[in-house]
Structure 1
């Protein structure tokens, strides 16, 4: 009797398992489309954001959107514009046109690309109290400010035109890779207890330093190009830092190191109109003793600095140094044969 019962239960289990295996997988949700001409489900970006659920993608068609946008209390949402030259968010009333997260509500695993964000009230974009934010292939005209955000990636963006700082990190953890940062008072400011890695970025035409690290922050600068700024980088406060494989050239001065900060320097190419190494003070004092043996003093051989072409010429000497295929942010031109 028990044998017959077990056989019956086995048949039922096989039938249920088969039914589950044959059940069709739910289709992926269609994207939410924003278009000013009414050809999408929404005419405003904010309406689409408010309607978005976990896992949704919002597609923004070309146009200039006169609105402020806030993404908060959202998870796993993608906002993809038609391209930074085709989609502009103009702002309307608020200081800061685009906010990701707001107090006390954050946002988690948010991806944004293919847009331009204008500034309003001196501030363009803010990231607050969030985690897992990926901002890429976008343009920011003004300041991008972060506060208490974690696992932020800012990649392949153009950020500039701020009357203060291009990107300000406050108590945040972030990676910046492949960005062009231009025409700000400071290019990047790292403050509070932030931990930030900058890799393969070009920072140019900052009134003061390309990068300033302060307070108890930690910054790792690897393979960047800091050119035509007031200064290369300043390591102040009690910050702990590394700078390796960077080109620091055509600035008024190179690295500034505070008395209580620490920085490990290696394989940087330095060529500036003033001192390459200084100790902070009033005024800063030249400190040639800070130069490590591996740092170089050499003309990088840029292609065309007047046109912001900071690629290296084929005859540059800054290749195959210290484990780097090339120093700085951009690869050298291929040699002609």
Structure 2
């Protein structure tokens, strides 16, 4: 039943975004509450408009920058529509978050940049449950305090379901996107770049699908899977990240299929007690190894291509326990397969 609910929610919010999420200003909805950055709309401020808006209202933001004195806290079903992520921007210096949604949804947002400024510790957008959809939005400027582990451009918590599509999560001090708790969103076609840690982080029992995302130039990893998370990772491009393209820690699992990992330290890393299934991934041009198993890392690696890596095509530590089958490993700097169990 939960899988059926998630599918229906994704279809619902996807339909909402196609109806209310234009990419050009002239295509903005004709009906709805209009807000302008100069205060000339139906309400003088965005905060007032959101406070007065009835449930399921469409709130239309014209071009410009909307400065908030404090973070927005929303719980009722709404649709927020901007004029494009390069034209409509919501900005705050507040501690905690720029926007937090904690209702049942649906909550749909399209064509808006959310940006945190200043040095106060904050996520950019936090979703604590319900059904949500974000399309063609940007999330930037999260700040992590020295005592904190996680901040994010967009943070899915609780049992959140929904969609993040064609968005950008960049320049965050920590992670671009975080999926934690029991959240199971669909992340599709997003660009997660230049975040100080990872482009996408799955933690706790986070799951869902990440498909056709680009995770590049991040300080640690393209996609990091932690704790007991078990996402499905399909056809993502993870390139030029400092440590790994995709990495599995602790007791994680799930499937990574058809991903391209190039120009990282390691293409795909599996450590501790993680046991994912790696299928038909292309791991080329990484500095150390295409695929590396450390600790007690296990699972299955089959039909992967690992070529042109500086060290090994596939590296398996003596204590690791993966099943390797039908992998194409060639033209690697040291050895195509280094299996220390043998």
Q: TM-score under structure 1 normalisation?
A: 0.72
Determine the structure 2 residue equivalent to 1:180.
191
**In structure 2, the residue corresponding to 1:74 is in which secondary structure?**
coil
Task: Give the corresponding residue for 2:61.
Answer: 60
User: Partner of 2:328 in structure 1?
Assistant: none
Greater Cα offset, 251-260 or 59-68: 251-260
- State whether structure 2 residue 227 is matched by structure 1 residue 225: no
CA–CA separation in structure 1 for the residues paired with 2:35 and 2:71: 13
Matched, 1:277 2:291: yes
Is the CA contact (8 Å cut-off) linking 1:124 and 1:140 kept in structure 2? no
Q: Is 1:296 aligned with 2:308?
A: no
Residue aligning to 1:115: 112
2:45 is aligned to: 44
SS in structure 2 at match of 1:53: coil
1:148-227 → structure 2 map (5 Å cutoff): 148-171=158-181, 172-184=183-195, 185-227=197-239
Unaligned runs of 5+ in 2: 1-28, 142-151, 309-342
Rg larger for: 1
Rounded Cα–Cα distance in structure 2 between residues aligned with 1:290 and 1:213: 14
**1:162 offset after TM fit, Å?**
1.2
CA deviations on 1:171-203 (whole Å, 9 max, x unpaired) are 111110000110011111111111131100000
The aligned runs of 1:32-111 (5 Å cut-off) are 32-67=33-68, 68-75=70-77, 77-101=78-102, 106-111=103-108
TM-score by length of 2: 0.71
RMSD: 2.3
Counterparts of 2:302 and 2:46 in 1: how far apart (Å)? 53
Q: Structure 1: which 4+ aligned runs deviate by more than 3 Å?
A: 289-293
